Amino acid sequence: MVHLARMIDWHGEIAFSIVEASEEHVRARMPVTPGVLNPLGMVHAGAMIWFADVAATRLAIGDAQIGTDGKGFQLAIDLHAALVGNQRDGELFAEARFVRRGKRVTVVRTRVTGADGRLLLDMTTTHIPFG
């Protein structure tokens, strides 16, 4: 039995890879490891959202050069996430595509899928350039 109210310390580790990046989309892969699981043994929602956010941000940045002061980085200023599934093992895949690509405001839709292409997360993020 899991007693969440008694848990004091939380820790984890997340690792993922960008496997493809073009002008129009970014694809990424994340293995399901013990460090991304919640106390019930499923992928923690925050890990899934973080994974999707990095794929979306990478797409929004494109081939821009990021200055030492952060200029050129695409800040996420809004996100809407629908968590529609989960899994306990295997791999997750993220695919980010533009909804709107603008000079000041960029909107990206990222879908995270799991086993057999089953949708787990559908997330839309809005980005603005820093600086």
In a domain, 32, yes or no: yes
6: in domain: no
Would residue 45 count as lying in a domain? yes
Specify the number of domains making up the chain.
1
- Tens-of-pLDDT digits for all 131 residues of the chain? 556 566 666 677 899 999 999 999 999 999 999 999 998 999 999 999 999 999 999 999 999 999 999 998 999 999 999 999 999 999 999 999 999 999 999 999 999 999 899 999 999 999 999 98
Range of the domain at 43: 16-129
Asked if 110 and 36 touch (Cβ cutoff 8 Å), the reply is no
CATH code for the domain in which residue 23 is found: 3.10.129.10
> What was the pLDDT predicted at 12?
79
**76 inside domain:** yes
Contact between 104 and 128 under an 8 Å Cβ cutoff? The reply is yes
Answering whether pTM is above 0.75, one says yes
Whether residue 2 is contained in a domain is answered as no
List of E strands, the chain: 17-21, 25-31, 74-83, 91-101, 106-113, 119-129
